[in-house]
Structure 1
Amino acid sequence: MRIPPYYRRPSWQRFFAGMAVGGAISWCIFLYIFGVWQEDNAKLIRKQQKDITELNNDLKIWQEDYEELNKRNLAKITVQKINIKIINWERYKLDDFSVFETEEAVRDDIKMVLAKDLETVAKSKDLVKKIIENKPIKINEKRYKLKVKEMTIFTTLTIQLEIQFDK
């Protein structure tokens, strides 16, 4: 088998030389275009990675704030504390300790409203009133009864009571 003698004809020599030079030039153009394209894509990928990192950090911050707000809102919509105050204890010449014990007894009687949502407590305010008013209190061998003067229902349940002799 023999290679045809194309190397002797100048037209074929130019054709093969043109193919070699054209191939080299097109390869250089391809490498340039591919390099520019790769560089643009690498920049785009770096920018997107930076954006994703920033967005993930923002998301983490938003989630933490959202969770904290939820905890605060949950704490706001439930009864957290009960304040009982007897306003006319001086009239009956009661000592501070007896008043304190009476307030604590009332607080123990209605502690069921702690950690309940405000809507439930508002619906059962008549029940709370009846619990307080129907229980006679014995202080210094005398019987007293309590009357609810004012009741404020919020995160702190505040009740002002008047004390009177039980008949």
Structure 2
Amino acid sequence: MRIPPLYRNPVWQRFFAGAAIGGCISWMIFLYMFGVMQERNGYLIEKQAKEIKTLQNQIIIWQEDYRELNKKNEEMLTIQKIDVRLIGYEKYNIKDRQSIFNVEESIKEDLKSLLAKDLSTVYKNKDIVKKTIENKNENINGKKYKFIVKEMYFYTTINITVELRLAG
């Protein structure tokens, strides 16, 4: 079997020459289009990388500012309210709620100097606060009572639970 001698026919020669030249031209067009597209994408990626870097730097700056503000706010926490709860008055048959309220208000009045003070300062002086309450004696229905601090919680509100005992 042999190949037909079409290479001698000028029509076929022009066809193959045109196909070869067309393939070269289309390859050149493809390379140009691909290069332009890659250049555009490369520029876009570079632009986005710069933008990401600047945004990350901004995030770091914002986080540092946020931490500093949180530290300042923690330092600036102050006592807003004092809440006193009296317990143990039931075993002494004190049923007069007005007397219990007056005792709670009396303790709050003694501690009102703590209002608007820095939280850390008040917490450092918690023993003084405790002694202030425990050294206080009150008359309720003609009997003297003393106080024992059971619980103290410090935040913007000081919560104090005080137990009532007979002074002896």
- Counterpart of 1:87, as a letter, is I
Matches within 5 A, 1:10-159: 73=73, 77-94=77-94, 95-159=96-160
8 Å CA contact 1:78, 1:116 repeated in 2: yes
- 4+ residue stretches of structure 1 with deviation over 3 A? 73-76
Q: Secondary structure at the match of 2:121?
A: helix
Q: Deviations over 1:60-100 (max 9, x none)?
A: xxxxxx9xx89xx4797111000000021212121111000
Q: Secondary structure at the match of 2:117?
A: coil
The alignment covers a number of residue pairs equal to 100
Query: Is 1:163–2:143 an aligned residue pair?
Result: no
8 Å CA contact 1:143, 1:166 repeated in 2: yes
8 Å CA contact 2:111, 2:129 repeated in 1: yes
- With normalisation by structure 1, the TM-score equals 0.55
Cα 1:91/1:165, change in 2 over 3 Å: same
Partner of residue 49, structure 1: none
Q: CA deviation at 1:165?
A: 0.2
8 Å CA contact 2:78, 2:119 repeated in 1: yes
8 Å CA contact 1:118, 1:155 repeated in 2: yes
- Counterpart of 1:77, as a letter, is L
Q: Percent identity over the alignment?
A: 49
8 Å CA contact 1:76, 1:155 repeated in 2: no
CA RMSD in angstroms comes to 2.3
8 Å CA contact 2:130, 2:149 repeated in 1: yes
